[in-house]
Chains A and B, each alone.
Chain A
Amino acid sequence: MNLQTPLLLAVLLLLAVQAFGQKKYEKEYRLKQNKVPAEAKKFVEALSFSGRVKWYREESLNGNTIEAKVTHNQKKHSLEFDTQGNLQDVEVQINWSEIPEETQKNISKNLSAAYTNYKINKIQVQYTGQTSTLLALLKNQETTKEYATKYEIVVKGSKGRQVKLYEITFSQTGEMVATAEIIFRNIDNLAF
Chain B
Amino acid sequence: MHFRLTATLLVSFVLLCSLKSQAQIGTLPAININKGLKKDWSLNFKWESRQAKLPDDLENGEGSRFKYVLSDFSLTLSKKVGLNNSLAAGYLMRIEDNRFIQRATQQFTIVKGYSFFRLAHRFTTDQTFDPESPTEYRIRYRITPEFPLSGQSIDPKEFYFKFNNEYLNSFQGKSYDLELRFIPLLGYEFTDTSKLEFGLDYRVNSFLNNATNQHYWINLSWYLKI
Residues in A lying within 8 Å of B, measured CB to CB? 1-7, 9-10, 13-14, 17-18, 20-21, 23-30, 56, 69, 76, 156, 163-165, 184-192
Contact = CB atoms under 8 A, between A and B. Distances in A.
Interface stretch (B93-101, B128-136, B170-178, B187-195): B187-195
Contact of B78 (A56, A69, A191): A191
A69 B152 CA distance: 11
B109 A24 contact: no
A17 B162 contact: no
Nearest to A183: B192
Most chain B C-beta atoms within 10 Å of own C-beta, residue among A23, A26, A29, A188 = A188
Given A21-B2, A187-B84, A189-B32, A1 B64 contact: yes
Contact of A190 (B61, B83, B111, B150): B111
B192 A187 contact: no
A7 B218 CA distance: 12
A192 B155 CA distance: 20
Nearest to B1: A30
A56 B17 contact: no
A80 to B, nearest CB: 13
Contacts of A21: 2-3, 159
A17 to B, nearest CB: 5
A185 B146 CA distance: 12
Contacts, number: 131
Contact of A17 (B6, B13, B66, B151): B6
Contact of B218 (A9, A56, A164, A184): A9
A30 B150 contact: yes
B52 interface: no
B14 A13 contact: no
Contacts of B10: 10, 13-14
B158 A188 contact: no
A186 B198 CA distance: 18
A191 B88 contact: yes
A28 B192 contact: no
A192 B151 contact: no
B223 A17 contact: no
A191 B14 contact: no
